[in-house]
Amino acid sequence: QTNLPIFKLKESTVRRRYSDFEWLRNELERESKVVVPPLPGKALLRQLPFRGDDGIFDDSFIEERKQALEQFINKVAGHPLAQNERCLHMFLQDEVIDKNYTPSKIRHT
């Protein structure tokens, strides 16, 4: 949900993978003057076999990762310069991310 006038939808639901967050971060670093916050670390050790827990499927890990990614996207979406980037709008509001898009700025309407 948002009350920011630059976003065309005031409410949207999309599913994103960690790699989608990596894509967004790379696009923002490449296309804007925004200092993009870091993403939570990759879960490489959780992917090792014979751990004695559910690894990346452990409920507490999933919840921690979800909260960390939510903090990341809230910081990015709250940044006035990032709000103008088409990649952020696609990430937040389009069902499918067109990774072959042409980077551009969003204008206030």
Each domain of the chain, given as residue ranges in start order, spans 1-108
pLDDT tens column, 67-92: 999 999 999 998 988 988 999 989 99
Among the residue ranges 31-45, 50-64, 77-91, the one predicted with the least confidence is 50-64
Q: Please say whether the structural domain 1-108 has been given the CATH code 3.40.50.300.
A: no
Tokens of 25: 């971060």
d(CA 89, CA 51): 39
Q: What type of residue is 75?
A: K
